[in-house]
Amino acid sequence: MPVEVKDTVRTRGMAQFKKAHARRGRAVASHDAAKRAHSRRHISLHACVLVAATVALTCLVSTLNASMHHVAMHSTLPRVFLLDANRLEASRMAARRDTELRPALLKLREDAQRALSTRPLSVTTKTVTPPSGDKRDYMSQAPYFWPDAKTANGLPYIRRDGERNPEIDRINNHRVLDDLEAAVETLALAYYFENDEKYATKASELLRTFFLNPETRMNPNLQFAQGIPGVNTGRGIGLIETRGLTRVVDSIGLLAGSKSWTVTDQKGMQRWFTDFLQWMLESENGKEEAAAKNNHGTYYDLQVVSFALFLNKTDLAREVLETVKQKRIAVQIEPDGRQPLELARTKAWSYSVGNLDGLMLLARIAENVGVDLWTYQTADGRSIRKALDFLVPFAVGEKKWPYRQLGDWQPEMLFRLIRRAFEKYDDSQIKNLAQRLPLIDAADRRKLLG
């Protein structure tokens, strides 16, 4: 073959080879592009699935968190000390389906609705100023002291036991504190049973005004409580007026988990009770009340123990409760059950029942730290049960009360203590006695509290 022909054939062959190679290249490129597109679609599909799964998982986690929060709020026992946490939780779980509890729940709701309109309460609203010059200091006047008719200005005031001087109402701090305790307790219970944030919101507002806000807070002392005109500006006896703060402690426990009651609020109340407890333990007025042998000593101990438990001072609480055996029960109660220091009063029935109530509350709160005061008995038979047994015949009409009692005779005062004893003493005598009592009203809050 001539060289020219060979060159031409070679040239054409190379051209065809290049074209074929180009076609294969385009085909490969097209195939690669298709593969890349398919890969992108595959990745995109996976991404969509991943996003969807992530969203679903996020929703699930959120739902689980909400559910766990709900369970934590409503299944965790409240941190209360006088109230029985287990019985509260059982009542809360049963209240909506138990027709027997329904009237009490409805009444609690009505009470809470009224409490929502409670005005802000503060010790600073009194019209008189304490000797300190600071209206944030609590102040009150001794109720059983009256002007002395033998002196020109009535000073110094003289004692008329059991007769309340209406003059004490010009200083409103005792009433304001009572109103605060009642409103906060009602609202906190309603929040616990109803899970309605509006009740917690109002309770929190009242607590902040009374204890936390710098302008309106009560200073944590009772230096000027139950002063006697012409004699002193305050006494240790005045500490009896804050015994209701034990209800405030339990109310704070019921508010736990609420959006309205913040960590800052909780810490603020812990600081307040830390300072108040320190004042009780170290001040002259506090030491005077601690040394009281009658009902004042009983309710002093109750406050110290309640506040100590709130502040996680368990050792202090247990120490005080152990001393109750000899310092209160052995001193206040005779072997036959009489309470001589209360019987000496002009309202002997009221004070005997009142002190026994305080001792029973101490026995209840002692359960929190494993101290048994319910069955404690001295070698010669002095005990809480013996004090109850002494009073029972007078309450049920078997005997006539032989001691002085100014005002109305109210045997029913002892009924709630008998019912309380029914829960603690497993014997036929107390069971038969409890069955003889009038039934508790269906709407009574005690139906929920146990």
In a domain, 371, yes or no: yes
Q: Are residues 230 and 104 in the same domain?
A: yes
Helices and strands in the chain: count of H runs, count of E runs: 17, 4
Total structural domains within the chain: 3
Q: Are residues 283 and 337 in the same domain?
A: no
Mean pLDDT in consecutive groups of 10 residues from the start of the chain, 450 residues: 41 46 49 49 43 42 38 69 97 90 96 98 98 98 98 98 97 98 98 98 98 98 98 98 98 97 98 98 98 98 99 98 98 98 98 98 98 98 98 97 96 97 94 94 94
Q: Are residues 70 and 95 in the same domain?
A: no
State the pLDDT at residue 97: 87
The domain boundary residue, chosen from 49, 75, 101: 75
Question: pTM here?
Answer: 0.84
Kind and range of the H or E run holding 145: strand 145-146
The domain boundary residue, chosen from 50, 75, 100: 75
The domain boundary residue, chosen from 291, 326, 350: 291
Q: Are residues 26 and 140 in the same domain?
A: no
9 CA to centre of own chain: 106
In a domain, 99, yes or no: yes
In a domain, 176, yes or no: yes
In a domain, 189, yes or no: yes
Q: Are residues 404 and 379 in the same domain?
A: yes
In a domain, 302, yes or no: no
In a domain, 299, yes or no: no
For residue 402, cis peptide bond before it (omega within 30 degrees of 0): no
Range 127-133, long-range pairs (CB < 8 A, 24+ positions): 127/170, 127/171, 127/172, 128/170, 128/171, 130/223, 130/224, 130/233, 131/224, 131/233, 132/223, 132/224
State the pLDDT at residue 26: 54
Structure-block tokens of residue 442: 């269906």
Calpha distance 446→450 (Å, rounded): 6
Q: Are residues 210 and 314 in the same domain?
A: no
Q: Are residues 64 and 186 in the same domain?
A: no
Q: What is the residue whose two structure tokens read 């995109």?
A: 44
What residues make up the domain containing 115?
83-291
Q: Are residues 211 and 326 in the same domain?
A: no
In a domain, 42, yes or no: yes
Q: Are residues 16 and 150 in the same domain?
A: no
Calpha distance 323→326 (Å, rounded): 6
| Distances from the Cα of 158 to the Cα of 110, 149, 165, 172, 268, angstroms | 44, 9, 11, 22, 40
Structure-block tokens of residue 148: 């002395």
Question: What CATH number should be reported for the domain holding residue 372?
Answer: 1.50.10.100
| 118 within 8 A of 183, measured Cβ to Cβ | yes
Q: Are residues 220 and 340 in the same domain?
A: no
Q: Are residues 145 and 277 in the same domain?
A: yes
In a domain, 231, yes or no: yes
| Distances from the Cα of 221 to the Cα of 118, 231, 316, 358, angstroms | 25, 20, 20, 22
Q: Are residues 71 and 163 in the same domain?
A: no
